[in-house]
Amino acid sequence: MDLTNATEENVMYMIEEIKEKLRMVNVDAMRAENFDTEKYEDLHYMYEMVMKRKHISSNEMEAIAAELGSLRK
């Protein structure tokens, strides 16, 4: 998948992958439709960072969730 393009499909893909990687319980807060392509670069950065990590602490998970919350519409 080419994630260099800011498309709705790519946003949906990245959000789903982040949710799966973090095993997020409150998935309603992370609905792909709550994100748009205006902040695509920030979302892509978060995606890359999360996917590179083998282990994410609970503090890091909270920080990631907070940052993703700031990227919502």
| pTM for the full predicted model | 0.81
Alpha helices (runs of H) in the chain, residue ranges in sequence order:
8-22, 40-52, 58-71
Residue 34, exposed/middle/buried by CB under 10 A (0-12, 13-18, 19+)?
A: middle
Closest to 50 measured CA to CA, from 1, 25, 17? 17
In a domain, 42, yes or no: yes
Domain total for the chain? 1
Residue 1 lies in a domain: no
One digit per residue, the tens of pLDDT, for the chain of length 73 reads 799 999 999 999 999 999 888 886 566 667 888 888 899 999 999 999 999 999 889 899 889 888 988 888 8
Would 66 be classed as within a structural domain? yes
> Is residue 3 a part of any domain in this protein?
no
CA dist 56 and 33 (Å) reads 25
Range of the domain at 54: 8-71
- Whether residue 2 is contained in a domain is answered as no
**How many other C-beta atoms lie within 10 A of the C-beta of residue 35?**
21
Instruction: Quote the pLDDT of residue 50.
Output: 93
